[in-house]
Structure 1
Amino acid sequence: MNIIEGLNLIDVTQLLTIAILCYVTTNAIKNTGKVSTQYMPFISMVLGLLFSILIAVVFHDSEMGKAIIAGLLVGGFTSGMFDGIQGFLNDGGTSE
């Protein structure tokens, strides 16, 4: 998270709010068992995008583009974007 904070895209309060919302929502979806875990990083990125737009509106942020970029990054970092990409590269997106 220090990387995103260092980019000065959004303030710390917004960053933590998006991260907590992404983590809780992604884990709730993951625990249902209806979605394969290899798709969770991408779902988390979409959730980060949606939550960042919501947070930007609530906090009256004037730079929506920066909030959207931060939301995508937070969503990716929250769920382990590296693991999702490795899952597709290693087995071609199919489970054994």
Structure 2
Amino acid sequence: MKIIEGLQLIDVAQLMVIAILCYVLTNSIKNTKVVDTKWMPFVSMALGLVLAIVTALVFHDKEIGKAIIAGLLVGGWTSGMFDGVQGFLNDGGTSE
């Protein structure tokens, strides 16, 4: 999450709203087993995108493009895509 926050695409309040709602909705969809788990990262990113647009409109953010990028990143983070990237960055890409 620090990576996304560090990009300063949107303010922290919007980021938290998107992250919490995206996490809850993604897990709700995952628990229904309607969507195969291999598609969940894409579902999560789509939810992040939609939530970012709605949040940007509610917060009267004029830079919706930045909010869309943040929504995609939050959706990826929510589905666990960044765990692999952070693991790679933290240990320098070396595995022992």
Which TM-score band applies after superposition, normalised by the shorter structure?
Answer: 0.7 to 0.9
Instruction: Name the counterpart of 1:79.
Output: 79
Percent sequence identity is 72
Instruction: Name the counterpart of 1:37.
Output: 37
Instruction: Name the counterpart of 2:14.
Output: 14
1:20 offset after TM fit, Å?
0.4
4+ runs of 1 displaced by more than 6 Å?
none
Instruction: Name the counterpart of 2:47.
Output: 47
- 1:7 and 1:56, CA in 2 relative to 1: closer, same or farther beyond 3 A? same
Question: Structure 2, unaligned stretches of length 5 or more?
Answer: 84-96
CA RMSD of aligned residues (A): 1.2
The letter of the residue matching 2:48 is G
Instruction: Name the counterpart of 1:56.
Output: 56
1:80 offset after TM fit, Å?
1.2
Instruction: Name the counterpart of 1:5.
Output: 5
TM-score by length of 1: 0.83
Q: Deviations over 1:48-89 (max 9, x none)?
A: 000000000000001010000000000001111268xxxxxx
Trace 1:61-72 onto structure 2 (pairs within 5 A): 61-72=61-72
SS in 1 for 2:18: helix
